Amino acid sequence: MAKFLSVISRPTLNRIVEPLARGLLRIGVSPNAVTVAGSLGVIAASVIFAAHGHLLAGTLIITGCALTDLLDGTMARLRGSKSKWGALLDSTVDRVSDAAVLGGVAYWLATTNQHRAATLALVCLILGQLVSYVKARAEGLGFSANVGLAERAERLLILGVGGLLAGLGLKPALEVALWVLAALSVITIAQRMIHVYRQAREPINR
Question: Residue 99 CB: number of other CB atoms within 10 A?
Answer: 16
- Cβ-Cβ contacts under 8 Å for 66 (sequence gap 6 or more): 38, 42, 97, 156
H/E stretch holding 19 reads helix 10-26
* Sequence-separated (6 or more) residues with CB below 8 Å from residue 61: 41, 45, 49
Residue 82 to residues 31, 78, 114, Cα–Cα distance (Å): 9, 9, 43
83: left (phi over 0), alpha (psi -120 to 50) or beta: beta
How far apart, in whole angstroms, are the C-alpha atoms of residue 192 and residue 197?
A: 8
Residues that are catalytic: 94
